[in-house]
Amino acid sequence: MKQLALEALDSAQRPGVTYADVRVIESRDRELGTKNGKPGQVSSDESVGIGIRVLADGCWGFAATDDLTHAGVESAAALAVDIARSSALAKKHDVTLAPEAKHEATWVSPCQIDPFTVSVEEQLSLLTAVDKELRRASGVTLAQTSMIFHRSRQVFVSSIGSVIDQTRTTSGAGFEAYSFKGDQIQKRSYPNSFGGQHQLKGYELIHEIDLLQHAPRVAEEAVWLHSADQCPEGRFDLILDGSQIGLQVHESIGHPIELDRVLGSEANYAGMSFLTLDKLNHLRYGSDLVNAVCDARIEHGPGMGTFAYDDEGVPAQSNDIIRNGQFVGYMTSRETASAIGATRSNGTMRATSWARLPLIRMTNVSLLPGEQTLDEVFAGVSHAIYMETNRSWSIDDKRYNFQFGCEIGWEIKDGKRIRMLKNPTYSGITTEFWNSCSAIANRDHWVLWGVPNCGKGQPEQVIGTGHGASPARFHNIKVGAAYAG
Amino acid sequence: MPVEILSQSQCHEYFDSIQQAAKALGVSDVEALFGAHFGALTRFANNTIHQNVAEQDRWISIRVALDHRTARATTNRFDSDSIRAAVEQALALARSAAANPDLLPLTEPSVISETKRFDAPTAAATPEHRGRAVTEAIRIVESAGQTAAGIYSTGQSIEALFNSRGVAAWHAETMAQFSITAMADDSSGWAKASAVSRESFDPLALARSAAEKARLSHDPQEIAPGRYTVILEPAAVLDLVGQIFGDFSATAVADSRSFLTDRLGKKLFGDNIQILDDVAHPLQAGVPFDGEGVGRRKLTLVEAGVPRDLAYARSSAQRAGVEPTGHGFPLPNEVGEAPLNIVIAGGSTSLDEMIASTDRGVLVTRLWYIREVDPYEKIMTGMTRDGTFLIENGRVTRGLRNFRFNQGIIELLNNVEALSPSVRASGEEAFDMVVPAMKVRGFNFTEVTRF
């Protein structure tokens, strides 16, 4: 792979080219599932290809191909340069890149149990047992389980002399129990919706989340929701479980801090951001309790956004985003760093595959744990609504107004659950919401959640991101508007 | 790049290799889904081209079936060793899976109607062609004192399905898309088109339309959320109503996860709602066969407000005792099937006539981030975006700040007061469809955002 990458780099360095980088990626996936006791998805996928990115005449060009013959790579390199030259038709200024050192490294993500060496029989046997357990609950009308494993090895080389060989293995698994009755479809998922939990781990993740143990409770909750009261409409203190906090962070902190979005790169599709450059170091993003980081280092945890180097050869870093409620940082790239006066990219450029261009993507954007016990989060107010596990999510194209729905809610009085609530939703404005944060549970309850389906870019790239979060409480939040009127 | 990226004869040759590899392993039932794609996309923002890409990929996805077991292995390497390894992998996975009594033998050959959807100039579009069109579009928006962002993409794709029972289906298609957002100081406008031929739309006309919407929506006013008469332009109809079609699936109904569970054949929408699935419609695109190689049939999904037909894959059709409709996804899968070539019948009211007949309402260009709040009532939430206008006394009078909506689609399709002629529309929340603009009473806006 390294030789191929270096040959492609040579081929890309044509007249007018001031920078080039090449990624050769070999990837492997396994996807398994069951539905109502029968096999569902049973598949594997292997892919290899090369992506060549060049700066020529001051503009970007990118071409990717699965044709790894000498002629195929030459053709792709030539196309990348042609494309860059056509970009110059509408050039306003030359692209400049923040300096970056040359890096030579090999990195393999921690993986205690290689999921591809665990037999498919064993994996399907576990899913089938979980599926059976879900269907033991009378009233469950649909049981689904899934596992997904992914490994990719990427060799990155660039014209500044970097040669970086990285291998990442991710695992994910989860289940869903549906219950249809009368005029309602209710659903419960574990450990989270979006196919469960996803991390940069091997098969040890599957052991840790213990699907089988949680199946009976989750299945019963799906059925019990039919007997639950509708979530009331009004303003309440709101407590969210860690997985929902993770998605709230993703949508209302992670996306707004993408500097390419702030600068307009996504204006036609994913949108822009309310975090205009004047807000850096000036905006009160949240209450004093709110501290958020963007951290791709393995020290932060085995997240979907953990790596050693990003896809333009910048080492993984940890950066403060919100410090004691104050907005202090964006996610940047070599091209955008100078827009905030930075002299170096903070290393967040990622691509979904060899066929796609690296973009600024969330790495692990995490809400740091607070100091309160879970009991203190719940008992800190006399009356609250607690919501668990995301069911719907939506936010405007500048990331101000959001609305989330969860699978299950509970009315809380004096720290105790007094009744189950169905169809809970809440909504708000990003900065008002984070400024209303009144408690965050401590590290004992902090989990690095994986969101496997973050979309951005044209052509669209769907990538996994990490979000560390623990349960948290918010004051005076609008609840239930989605079902009102 | 070659005009034909994966020919029918090449697929035949590769399938021969696959069959030989399968036979050597004692497997007689084998199916191969071939795919190939060459696409290029020129992306612009801040009145300049900032991302400009091309990609070429081909893949073979091999499925074996034995003893009511099946599994799939996919590779993008076409050499004989890789093909053999993929067959071995599919077989190993299938042997590991439990038997599924619902699994049917591979599809027998049947008549598949041909749909001609390959446009040579679109396949051959160069970076320079896209760059020049984008430069001109930017110039139009820039000359209005605004900032342009968008894409111009062109590409071709091949999809083919061969199996050991003799199915040999092959389809080539081109697709071009142009999308543009024009941004003024406190407002924006948007326009998008897609077609098999790049000559079917005019990027410059789209640029002018986006710029005009941005101009008209300047200094947007905030009005209280509530129930309003709305006029949804075709892209807004597509993105919102398009959320329901995954439920027109026999498997989804059997799983009780469709809003049509217990509602088929009952009056659900207004009399003026007629919806077809028709791959052969002249404004449609897409493959005329499904993931098992069954030819797609025309479906009457909704007739005079009554849900009628469902899409059936082969296994769901057998369970129901009907013929498959050619809408199945590649096996194995959990979701079964779905209609993918939606045509919502239009009416005769122009957009201007809808506006002229509205005393007070909201004109919506585009919707964004639409997600399902309630799966049985089909309540959807989302935002308006890039051109939301107040209508007063039959005229568009000013731009509005964007709304969040929480709107049931069943309710919406009961409140349609007028329909425009249908057009091919393209949005970002659902696949492209043929849809009209709709005038809808009592649309539920629940919140207003800050812009």
Q: A343 and A387: one domain? A: yes
Three-class HEC string of chain B:
CCCCCCCHHHHHHHHHHHHHHHHHCCCCEEEEEEEEEEEEEEEEECCEEEEEEEEEEEEEEEEEEECCEEEEEEECCCCHHHHHHHHHHHHHHHHHCCCCCCCCCCCCCCCCCCCCECCHHHHCCCHHHHHHHHHHHHHHHHHCCCEEEEEEEEEEEEEEEEECCCCEEEEEEEEEEEEEEEECCCCEEEEEEEECCHHHCCHHHHHHHHHHHHHHCCCCECCCCEEEEEEECHHHHHHHHHHHHHHCEHHHHHCCCCCCCCCCCCCCCCCCCCEEECCCCCCCCCCCECCCCCECCCEEEEECCEECCCECCHHHHHHHCCCCCCCECCCCCCCCECCCCEEECCCCCCHHHHHHCCCEEEEEEEEEEEEEEECCCCEEEEEEEEEEEEEECCEEEEEECCEEEEEEHHHHCCCEEEECCCEEECCCCCCCEEECCEEEEEEEEEEECCC
Shortest Cα distance from A392 to chain B (angstroms)? 6
How many domains, chain B?
2
Tell me which residue has tokens 């040669």. A163
Q: Could you tell me if B146 and B263 lie in one domain?
A: no
Choose one of B144, B170, B200: the last residue of a domain.
B200
In a domain, B406, yes or no: yes
B108 within some domain: yes
Q: Could you read off the pLDDT of A127-148 as tens digits, one per residue? A: 999 999 999 999 999 999 999 9
The residue of chain A with its CA nearest to that of B384 is: A396
Could you tell me if B229 and B141 lie in one domain?
no
Shared domain for B275 and B173, answered yes or no, is no
Partner residue opposite B369 with nearest CB, options A36, A66, A395: A395
Is any Cβ of chain A less than 8 angstroms from the Cβ of B257?
yes
Domain end: A202, A227, A252, which one? A227
CA dist., res. A227 & res. B306, Å (int): 31
Q: Which tens digits make up the pLDDT trace of B239-274? A: 999 999 999 999 999 999 999 999 999 999 999 999
Domain identity same for A222 and A241: no
- Looking at the structure of chain A, the number of domains it has is 2
pTM above 0.90, yes or no: yes
Please tell me which residue of chain A has the smallest CA distance to B449: A401
Asked if residue A253 and residue A343 are part of one domain, the reply reads yes
Domain of B148, in residue numbers: 8-200
Residue B139 belongs to some domain of the structure: yes
Is residue A27 domain-shared with residue A62, that is, in the same domain?
yes
Per the CB < 8 Å rule, is A458 touching B132? no
A263 with B374: Cβ contact below 8 A: no
Which pLDDT band holds residue B2 (cuts at 50, 70, 90)?
A: very low
Residue A152 φ then ψ, to 5°: -135, 135
Asked if residue B400 is part of any domain, the answer here is yes
Mean pLDDT of A114-121: 97
Give A444→chain B minimum CA distance, Å.
32
Lowest mean pLDDT among A327-331, B113-117, B223-227, B388-392: B113-117
| Range with the poorest average pLDDT among A204-208, A379-383, B276-280, B365-369 | A379-383
* Co-location of A143 and A261 in the same domain: no
A384 and A275 co-located in one domain: yes
Scanning A110-139 for CB atoms below 8 A from B yields 119-121, 124, 128
* Same domain, residue pair B170 and B226: no
User: Looking at the structure, do residues A165 and A236 belong to the same domain, yes or no?
Assistant: no
Closest CA to A338 of A395, A273, A277, A250: A277
Would you say residue B1 lies in a domain?
Answer: no
The pLDDT, as a whole number, for residue B114 is: 87
Residue type, B91: L
Q: Are residues B187 and B51 in the same domain?
A: yes
Q: What is the share, in percent, of chain A residues with pLDDT greater than 70?
A: 100
Please indicate if any CB of chain B lies within 8 Å of the CB of A338: no
User: Domain check: are A212 and A235 in the same one?
Assistant: no
Indicate whether B383 belongs to any domain: yes
Do A136 and A250 lie in one domain? The reply is no
Chain A residues inside the 8 Å CB shell of B332: 39-43
Residue ending a domain, choose from A181, A203, A227:
A227
Is B208 contained in some domain? no
Question: Which of A208, A227, A246 is the last residue in one of the domains?
Answer: A227
A80 lies in which domain range? 2-227
| A195 & A278 share domain | no
Q: Does A462 touch chain B (CB under 8 A)?
A: no
Q: Are residues B283 and B164 in the same domain?
A: no
The residue-averaged pLDDT of A402-419 equals 97
How close B316 gets to chain A, by Cα (Å)? Answer: 14
Q: Are residues B57 and B193 in the same domain?
A: yes
Is B356 part of a structural domain of the chain? yes
CATH number of the domain residue A192 falls in: 3.30.2290.10
In this structure, the answer to whether residues B225 and B186 fall within a common structural domain is: no
| Cβ-based contacts of B227 with chain A (< 8 Å) | 485
Co-location of A73 and A185 in the same domain: yes
Percentage with pLDDT > 90 across chain A: 99
Once rounded to an integer, what is the mean pLDDT over residues B193-209?
A: 98
| Model pLDDT, residue B1 | 44
List, for residues B124-179, the tens digit of each pLDDT value: 999 999 999 999 999 999 999 999 999 999 999 999 999 999 999 999 999 999 99
Cβ B43 vs Cβ B133: under 8 Å = no
Residues A337 and A325 in one domain: yes
| Residues 377 through 406 of chain B touching chain A, CB cutoff 8 Å | 377, 379, 381-383, 385, 402, 404, 406
Same structural domain, B195 and B224:
no
Encode pLDDT of B337-392 as tens digits.
999 999 999 999 999 999 999 999 999 999 999 999 999 999 999 999 999 999 99
